[in-house]
Each structure stands twice: as structure tokens, then as C-alpha cells.
Amino acid sequence: MTRNKLKVGLIGTGMICNIAHVPAWRELADEVEIVGAADVVADHARGTAEAHDIPQWFDDPQRMLDELRPDIVSVCAPNRYHKPWTLAALEAGAHVLCEKPVADNYQDAVEMYDAAEAAGKLLMVGQSVRFRSDSMAAKSLTDAGVLGETYYAEAGAMRRRGVPTWGQFHMQEHSGGGPIYDIGVHALDLVMWLIGSPRVISVSGAAYTRLANQDEGLLTSEADSGAPEGVPAARPYDYREFDVEDLGVGFLRLENDMTIVLRASWAANIPEGTGSTFILGTRAGMALNPLRIIGTLGAYQADTTPIVPGRDEPFAMGHIREAAHFVRAIRGEEELSVKRDEVLNVIHALDALYRSAQSGAEVHLDW
Ligand SMILES: NC(=O)c1ccc[n+]([C@@H]2O[C@H](COP(=O)([O-])OP(=O)(O)OC[C@H]3O[C@@H](n4cnc5c(N)ncnc54)[C@H](O)[C@@H]3O)[C@@H](O)[C@H]2O)c1
């Protein structure tokens, strides 16, 4: 049976749009067609449209929404613009796949989900790490009860040097936060998803800006910062504009007595690979990146390394599976897997982490 193709519009045609969203929608060529690319910088929209043979480009995303009325909108603008473009896309009748973090504060995220529900459309936040092979394998193991009762976890996203320099990540005005919102949100979302998303009840946080606001003269690579080498920079990088944290840490208490330590940094004097992610359970522990089960075998301590097909897959695979799932959810074939309550739990905790860092006191979350 031939089905109508869903029309996709792109808003914010920078790095992640070009290297992950466009390839993901193109993988679904039988199901969707990209009809327009929009950005507030005309060159970015035009460049994306030309590079990927997209029929129309716009220097005003609202005009794209009004003229093309897409069925799906990929919101890939910097964090601060996730809310306004999500609301505008919903208003124009689209389902929205919005990049992470959902917003730069909890209240805005609630409003975004409320608007989606009122519009009768789906809002999915692009927690693309969940859709990677090793994450899905980890989830199948936690769901099967392999860890027993879980009681403590560390969610780590620590880079020795890896400040994103191609966009506006380092500017509070556009991003609303630094590594906590950029990579910490992936680490915490993954752990919370694996342990079944118990509610966060309090957070004590600290945030530091000690290294990345200086010119160290170090040689670093875009690959270390989370982008393919040679990604076109949307704007010239200037360390003097750096006004977000370069290290954020949090201590989270959950309603089921679990605790989580979150650490996220773009610049820290530590060996690469420290600040890892793990979950402790009564039957076994789980380490991520790479996935290992730390357990016992008879009378022996024993580690198991599951052989996960595709564990070294390309970066865009998470986005490719995410987009395919989103289309199935829109078609009513699957229940949306990145759920409102899960996303709100994480953004509430991260928002509280920043507030705690500012006040110097633990923040109790109102639900
Ligand atoms: N899921 C992931 O793994 C992943 C990876 C990287 C980035 N991201 C997220 O994607 C978003 C974009 O990141 P990026 O690396 O592509 O950044 P980028 O700077 O390369 O691209 C952002 C684009 O948005 C445009 N823009 C700026 N202000 C805008 C506005 N008000 N309205 C519309 N467009 C606007 C910029 O001109 C630029 O072209 C961020 O929210 C980031 O957190 C997610």
C-alpha cells in the first residue's frame, strides 16, 4: 500500500541538522520528504538546501511554516530557541522532533508538552543516545532485571578538552547553559531511562568556569568536541564570549532512595575516559561506554562484555533510528518512546542543578 509521504521542514540548519537530521529523514525516503530548510542566517538555510537538494529555503522559519505547512518539523536551533520554534511548529499543525535539551528551563518544557497535547500533535525530544545499539542493549538488560535492585549511579560526560566551537554553545544568551545542557543531558537521560525514571526529589549542584574562558593556546579537535572534523563553523569562535560553565556537577536524590552523581565538562584536567557512567545494583553493576556487566560467576567476581552488533556504528545511527521511530509513532504504529514525564524529570533536575549552583543550597523539586 502506498502511503502519503509526510512533509518535513527543518529549522536551524547547522551542524546537527546537516550531519544527522537530513541523513535520518533521507533514510526514510519512502515515508517522508524534506520540503524546506529554514534558518535565521540565510547562508545556512541556502547552503543546506543546496547541499542536500532540498527544494526550498527560508531565512525566516515562520514563513516556511506558513507557506509549506510541514507535517513534521525538526527543531535544530540553539537551545534557547527550542521553545519558540516548537510552539510555532505545533501552531502550524506539525509534529515536532526537537533537539535536546528540550528547553533551557523546566517551566518552558512543561508549556511545550502542554501545547503539543492541546494541539493533538506529538512532541519528541531527540535523546538520540537512547537509540544507539549499546544503549538499547543496556536497556534490554536492565529491563530483564540483570542488575537486581539499583541504588546508586554516576552519569559522566567528561571531556578533557572539547568545547564546541562551531556554534553558540558557549554563550548563555543562546544556549542557556554549558556542558550540563549539552552532554550532561544525554548522560543523565540515559541513566534515568535505564533505571525506569524514578522522580528526582532534590538536587545539590555546583558549576565552574575555570578553563574554557581562557585562551590556552592548546591544539584541540572538533572530533573531541562532538562534531565531525571539518564541520563548517556557523560563526567564528571567540573564547572571550564564553560565559557558561565548563564543569557542572550535581548530587541527585530520587524518590526510590537512589542517588545519582552527575558530572559534565568540556574542559577538565583529567585523563580522557574518567568520569564514566555506571549503575550499581544488588545483583550486578553496569558500566557504559563500553557496556559491561560487573557481576559474579559461581565463587568468582566476573565481568561480562556483551557483544552488541553495531556497537561501533556511525554517529548518525542514533538519529536515524530516532526519526524512524518518530514516524512510526506519528502513524500510530508505536507508542512514543521518549516520554513527557521522562524528559520533564531530567530537565527539572538540570534546571535545579543550575539554581542550586547559584544559591549554594540544595534545591527541592516541586512536582
Ligand atoms: N542529539 C545530539 O547528539 C546533538 C548533537 C549536537 C547538537 N545537538 C543540539 O542541536 C542543537 C543545534 O546544535 P548544532 O551543533 O547544530 O549547532 P549549530 O550552531 O551548528 O546550528 C544551529 C543553527 O541554528 C541557527 N539559529 C540560530 N538562532 C536561531 C533562531 N533563533 N532560529 C532558527 N535558527 C537559529 C544557526 O544559524 C545555526 O545554523 C542544539 O540544541 C544542540 O544541543 C544535539
Residue 32 has pLDDT above 90, yes or no: yes
With contact defined as beta carbons under 8 Å apart, do 116 and 98 qualify? no
Query: How far does the centroid of ligand 1 lie from the alpha carbon of residue 294, in Å?
Result: 37
Using the predicted structure, report yes or no on whether residue 229 has a pLDDT greater than 80: no
pLDDT at residue 2 tops 70: no
For position 18, what pLDDT does the model report?
96
Cα(14) to ligand 1 centroid in Å equals 6
DSSP secondary structure, 208-225, as one string: E-SSTTS-------TGGG
The answer to whether 346 and 185 have CB atoms below 8 angstroms apart is yes
Provide the Cα torsion 40, 64, 123, 177; round to 10°.
Answer: 0
Enumerate the domain spans of the chain: 6-126, 130-315+346-364
Probe ligand 1: pick from 15, 112, 124, max atoms within 8 Å of CB? Answer: 15
| Pocket (CB within 6 angstroms of ligand 1) | 11-17, 39-41, 44, 61, 76-79, 81, 99-100, 126, 128, 166-168, 182, 234
CA of 76 to the centre of ligand 1 (A): 5
Q: pLDDT, tens digit, for every residue of 285-320?
A: 999 999 999 999 999 999 999 999 987 899 999 999
More confident: 229 or 202? 202
Residue 71, CB half-sphere, CA atoms under 13 Å: how many? 13
Q: What is the pTM of this model?
A: 0.98
Count Cβ atoms below 10 Å from residue 124 Cβ, excluding itself.
24
**Res 1 pLDDT > 80:** no
pLDDT digits (tens, 9 = 90+) for 144-164: 999 999 999 999 999 999 999
Residue 128: phi and psi, rounded to 5, are -65, -25
Closest approach atom of ligand 1 to CA 13: 39
Cα 26 to ligand 1 centroid, rounded to whole Å? 19
In the chain, the N- to C-terminal Cα span, in Å, equals: 46
Average pLDDT estimate for 55-75: 98
Specify the residue with its C-alpha closest to ligand 1, atom 21: 14
> CA-CA distance, 162 to 216, in Å (whole number)?
13
> Which one of 3.40.50.720, 3.10.20.600, 3.40.630.30, 3.40.1280.10 gives the CATH number of domain 6-126?
3.40.50.720
The backbone torsions φ and ψ at residue 127, rounded to the nearest 5 degrees and listed phi first, read -80, 70
Name the β-bridge partners of 5. none
Q: At what angle do helices 340-359 and 106-119 cross, to 10 degrees?
A: 160
Provide the Cα torsion 146, 152, 157, 158; round to 10°.
-120
Rounded to whole angstroms, the Cα distance separating 185 from 353 reads 12
pLDDT at residue 245, as a whole number = 98
Pairing relationship of beta strands 150-158 and 123-126 according to DSSP bridges: unpaired
Atom 18, ligand 1: residue with shortest CA distance: 14
**Given the CA of residue 182, which atom of ligand 1 is nearest to it?**
43
Q: What is the mean pLDDT of the chain?
A: 96
Architecture of the domain defined by 130-315+346-364: 2-Layer Sandwich (3.30)
Lowest mean pLDDT among 61-65, 157-161, 171-175, 218-222: 218-222
